[in-house]
Amino acid sequence: MEHNIYFAIQPLHFVSRILGLSPFHVDPSYTFHNKGGCTFCHIIQETVMILLLLYGSYNEVLACVAYSETTFNLSVRVVCIINILVSSFTGALALFFTVTRNRNHMTNVLCLLSRVDNKLFRNKSKQSAYSQHRSHVIMQLWVMLLLHGIAYIPLFFFSDDTWMSYTNVSSEIFRGVIDTVVMLQYMNIVLMVKQRYQLVKHLLSESVTTDDANSSRHMDAEYCINKNNNKIFPLATNNLEIDTSFNNLYTIRDLRLICSELYDVLHANNKSYEVLILFNVITLLTITVPTTFYGVLIIKCAIVDNGRFQLYLKGVFLLTDCAFMVLTLLWLAMCCQRTTEEIRNVFICIQKLLLYPNTLGWSTSEMKSFSSQLKNSTFEFNVCGFFTLNLQFFCASVSVIFTYILVLHQIS
């Protein structure tokens, strides 16, 4: 049975649909029989989810204001309230965007990627790539489920045995899951684009390392070797215009079109999610600071006052929760940085090919045009103009977290 590109992200779409973060159908090949009914049901689901989110946040703010533990001082209380408000706004905005500006985003992006795959892959390798990415998506979901279980389930044991306390914990878990799924949606599109840029890069780099025209001719009529992981990526030839006089696999026009469409996918994905990513990062920073500070204070009080083992355990779980959030930010920054590097590597390969005239029959003027296109379309994961997602931003965020923890310590 042949699968289309929707097969690769189907598990993530299933989870997103349960949370109301995706339309009922995003498969480009799906034909609606009752589109109006599906849209109406989706709007009802979004409304219910937003109301539940706001109700839980209201209870959380009241509980935070009424919390009277000595270590939970005014500074920590204010930052926690800001985090609850920002996180709730992020979740509500994500749900609202799903039925408005981002309603057709996933379908359109999958259509663009499918069009690229028809040019870049042979049918058999396309199925293999989809199955491989589906496995990665399932693994991501299991890892996130495990980490959320470690971070949130202990909250039930440390909470009061009251209905309001359980409601607040459930609301916090709900907000955390929504933020995580939004992040996974964004990152999986980025990772799919990154993989396709890698294929283009390996095709070009293989041409650079070929010693003579004869070996270049037989370099790969069907395969492009990925030397980083020793896997073979079969390529499509039947859907491309082949200039037999030069014995090349792809014309410059084909590769320029592929890179242009991949750039369009990244741009559309970043445009749709940049506001949500901005508030996600703010949420992460505002919760990491008070949670880390509060966890350290609990452990410190337990040591000084010879407290119960339960206090040590609570402090450890709070710090574990912070570590999970910091690692999530690190993964986001690393994926974006590596994708940017892959785009840059394609440009470098074209620059190297300019040193070998008539490689694969491509003229110098064609390669210069391709090089100019890549140079002018260098992509950066800029979020609303405030910052760029890369490792430099991650290091700056960690330094800000530690700075404000020290400020809270001095104030206390």
How many C-beta atoms surround the C-beta of residue 46 within 10 A? Answer: 20
Confidence of residue 203 (pLDDT cuts 50, 70, 90): confident
- pTM, whole model, 2 decimals? 0.79
Q: What are the tens digits of pLDDT across the range 63-90?
A: 777 776 665 667 677 777 887 888 888 8
CB-based contact 83:287 (threshold 8 Å): yes
Q: What is the pLDDT of residue 214?
A: 42
Q: What are the tens digits of pLDDT across the range 144-164?
A: 888 888 777 766 666 666 767
Average of per-residue pLDDT across 395-403: 88
Provide the token pair at 353: 């090919």
Between CA 40 and CA 43 the distance in angstroms is: 5
Could you tell me whether strands 231-234 and 387-388 are parallel, antiparallel, or unpaired per DSSP bridges? Answer: unpaired
Poorest-confidence range of 44-48, 328-332, 406-410?
Answer: 406-410
Confidence of residue 98 (pLDDT cuts 50, 70, 90): confident
Question: What is the DSSP track for 77-96?
Answer: HHHHHHHHHHHHHHHHHHHH
**360 secondary structure, DSSP code:** G
**121 secondary structure, DSSP code:** B
Provide the token pair at 53: 């989110």
Poorest-confidence range of 210-219, 301-310, 372-381?
Answer: 210-219
Average of per-residue pLDDT across 188-215: 73
Q: What is the pLDDT of residue 3?
A: 74
- Sequence-distant (6+) residues with CB within 8 A of 62 are none
Poorest-confidence range of 98-112, 208-222, 299-313?
Answer: 208-222
Between CA 136 and CA 245 the distance in angstroms is: 41
Q: What are the tens digits of pLDDT across the range 221-249?
A: 334 434 444 333 344 433 433 333 333 45
CB-based contact 269:186 (threshold 8 Å): yes
Q: What is the pLDDT of residue 405?
A: 80
Confidence of residue 142 (pLDDT cuts 50, 70, 90): very high
Packing angle, helices 74-98 and 391-411, rounded to 10: 140
Does position 123 have pLDDT exceeding 70, yes or no?
no
